[in-house]
Structure 1
């Protein structure tokens, strides 16, 4: 491991100086923190993991994926069937109420689906919903959703990416109103929102239960605290009861203190480097395959995993998470080889190296480690460290085409939730490869698993051979929480407050 990557021992003196007055369960309020400021709490107009976590507490979908068995079970729907290869019919659960008292029925499903699939409404991640063509009401408690061609991952998407909104309320207030006063059917209702800063959730006494079960903890108080050292200080002072995504070194020290519960769990999130092979931001070095490949050989991914991520993280080589359906592993790999990187740069016409802008939005130490490796082979990377929403907006306009980003697939265990999101000519596709798009389209729409795997394999092999992305590593998450809290993390990176309780 290179000296610049050595993390050393990170002191917790700031936290300890606050005193060890631990939070307790006497007020039945779990205090916790988000690291990123949400651009909106309207689920369809944000793309952050924190927004997904928030949504799972407040809204329900038609189906739910059991985390133990992996099976799909009814949530707002009691049953379903495929009418044909593009039509799903759902029988809806009766007697469900929204937080504002509205009765849930087919009108809410039809309104929600038809709203989010309408391109004029500009949902933030259209790939999450544009596989649906629309929805129609059969009767008060029966609805049909039609897809844009066969879509075998429909139930997987419906289990996590289609939250059902109250039609009358949303028609009246729209995204801006939902962002300030969210209304759902979920186990927690929203008592207050200070946009981007502070959210208070209260147990919904009228919750119907379903597969999520009845929540136990009365109040969830969430503040946005971007700085991990401030989070740690709050944890020690008793200001918060739980934090997650704690860097490995701090987590190790906290575990040694034995004053909190420290749990590590793998996640579906992967880190990757994207490069503007298509020249969307203008002519540049990344149009040359040799430069893109040089980036791959320049970075010691294993060393970053061992010294920075630790835990259950692993190097990944394909543009997807290994457990996802269709995630081909037999692809071109880029082992750490700085001499080869320099040779490829010279072959591409850059024997003396080059200077480029490098973008990132999280894990600054990881980004800086990569930059140091790049500098070793002659690539000077100027870091532009932005909020994710700002970086995403730049990429949608074709700029910021070289950077370190991550994607958690919204915890959808299918290649369509990651590779197809970034390589089918969407706003964040910097490859624009027609052949790759065709293979992914075929894989996304075929109902034959063999055909799906074959086409995903072709797409992923070419993405690796052309080095459109340099996949880096999978993430793990360290959860640190009060010993009064009963909580078991899951690999889908969703914090389920409704599953927590006090010991």
Structure 2
């Protein structure tokens, strides 16, 4: 099957028919003089508080303004001090921290163990309804041991505990949050990070200002750029228009077909970097969207695997080193054993035969929802499915809208992506889709049991055995199709010194003007 591509010229027409010679003005230089970095993202974040969205954009925005107890060095993946200066394992279930003194929140209040314990105990409470509960289910509670000492009690041994603490446990200021309430905090958040948020509009964007009282020795350092503005737009065409017109300085995940042409412009450059993000197709094996849903039949799900030429999508559409993960996880994650997975080749003839065996010799109609951009990636999957008789009606949604429908159990088939919060352990991906919760469209008790077993031991051999069994069952039953790894395509001003990292977490506090 030939997968269609848009040329750079077509992209420009779609973006408003811009003529390149007219773009050579100097608004980017003006912004450099104003010391303001202008960013655009395609998905609006409904709540900028990192605990109440599970979008990559939300993680990125939060990382500039909040710190956790520890920090993961983006080059080495080593855990280094942040709000805690020291830590030690008392037992496999108890982790104690010595907290840094002299740290201020953005409102000027001092950071203490009370703030850390309040944050951790709040987000671990099921009544708080955080966006990704599986990130915190391993924690029992936090105890204040002194003004600057904290004890973390675990429910089970968790080898990746420090990675979770570094990436998904930013600390709130207790007094401020209790005073302004949950809604007030989402509108005017306060953290301890190198930037403070000065304006929030969940529909339009937000503004940051360098926090000049960021603590000495902080792992993120003091930013070189004073201000950041963030705007949300709805589509890739608008995003590209803004970049070409030099009304923004940085975008990401643009159509890779356009990278070479953008690089030819004297004021722009591109950069590509594979990330830990996995694109996937999930199917409603549990019948949540309807008991007569064809996806409840294992042969239909296996047919879907055989119908899609994932290698062609990875190499020709995503490109840049993208690959097809053989298991439902990112290949470097602990527990992601390719040898445990049942493999499915691209075989449309076999797909048609399986559909006939399942009782659908003439195929069937189904809704395929997706928030994946560029849209050609979703259209390619749709085309492969239609070629074997699965007449998928593609419904492109915003991330928040699809997430809301997914949690309600409304999706028979859906495409999305998962970045594991950049945690290099399968406990950060598979439980999110197979823990029996609202994101679980398999509801397989055996898979859930195996994942709990793998996440409840400090013994690597025990963990590996459990995760291998989970991977084998997930792939045998064809619950979840890993489509490809993501390769981020960044485009930004040549005046900007920006470095990308494989954990898919842009660090604007490290950026500077040339």
Structure 1 runs of 4+ off > 4 angstroms?
Answer: none
Deviating more after overlay: 303-312 vs 261-270:
303-312
Q: How does 1:5-154 map to 2 (within 5 A)?
A: 5-9=4-8, 10-12=10-12, 14-16=17-19, 19-22=23-26, 23-24=28-29, 25-154=32-161
Question: Counterparts of 2:142 and 2:186 in 1: how far apart (Å)?
Answer: 24
Structure 2: distance between partners of 1:318 and 1:427: 22
The reply on whether 1:428 has 2:436 as its aligned counterpart is no
Provide the aligned C-alpha RMSD in A.
1.4
Give the secondary-structure state (helix, strand or coil) at the position aligned to 1:202.
Answer: strand
Whether the 8 Å contact between 1:15 and 1:229 is mirrored in structure 2 is no
Residue of 171, 192, 198 corresponding to 2:199: 192
8 Å Cα contact 1:317-1:470 kept in structure 2: no
Does 1:297 find its partner at 2:306?
Answer: yes
Identify the residue that residue 437 of structure 1 maps to in structure 2.
448
Q: How many residues align?
A: 502
Q: CA deviation at 1:130?
A: 2.1
Kept in 1, the 8 Å contact 2:11–2:237? The answer is: no
Inter-partner Cα distance in structure 2 for 1:16 and 1:312: 32
Q: Identify which of 351, 354, 361 aligns with 2:364.
A: 354
Instruction: Give the corresponding residue for 1:272.
Output: 280
Cα distance in 1, alignment partners of residues 180 and 406 from structure 2 = 30
Alpha-carbon deviation of 1:279? 1.4
- CA distance in structure 2 between the partners assigned to 1:15 and 1:458 by the alignment: 54
Match for residue 281 of structure 1? 289
> Given that residues 21 and 236 in structure 1 are in contact (C-alpha distance below 8 angstroms), is that contact kept between their aligned partners in structure 2?
no
**Using the alignment, how far apart are the partners of 2:412 and 2:131 within structure 1?**
19
After superposition, what is the alpha-carbon deviation per residue over 1:321-354, rounded to whole angstroms, capped at 9, x for unaligned?
1011111111112221100000000111111111
Q: Could you tell me how far apart the structure 2 residues matched to 1:126 and 1:79 are? A: 27
| Secondary structure of the structure 2 residue equivalent to 1:322 | coil
SS of residue paired to 2:198: strand
Matched, 1:259 2:267: yes
* Contact 1:5 1:307 survives alignment (8 Å): no
State the shift of 1:396 in Å.
1.6
Separation in structure 2 between the aligned mates of residue 248 and residue 180 of structure 1, nearest angstrom: 35
Q: By how many angstroms is 1:258 displaced? A: 4.8
Distance (whole Å) between structure 2 residues aligned to residue 341 and residue 146 of structure 1: 49
Deviation by residue 1:128-184 (Cα, 9 ceiling, x = unmatched): 122211111000000111111211111010010000000001112233112111100
Pairwise CA distance, 1:84: 1.3
Matches within 5 A, 1:396-435: 396-435=407-446
TM-fit CA distance, 1:384 = 2.1
Q: Does the Cα contact within 8 Å between 2:69 and 2:82 map onto a contact in 1?
A: yes
Matched, 1:168 2:175: yes
Gaps of 5+ in 1: none
Task: Single out whichever of 253-262 and 128-137 deviates more from structure 2.
Answer: 253-262
Offset, 1:365? 1.6
Q: Output the CA distance in 2 between the equivalents of 1:471 and 1:446.
A: 26
Is the deviation greater in 480-489 or in 247-256?
247-256
Could you tell me which runs of 5 or more consecutive residues in structure 2 were left unpaired when the two chains were aligned.
Answer: none
Aligned mate of 2:393, from 365, 382, 386: 382
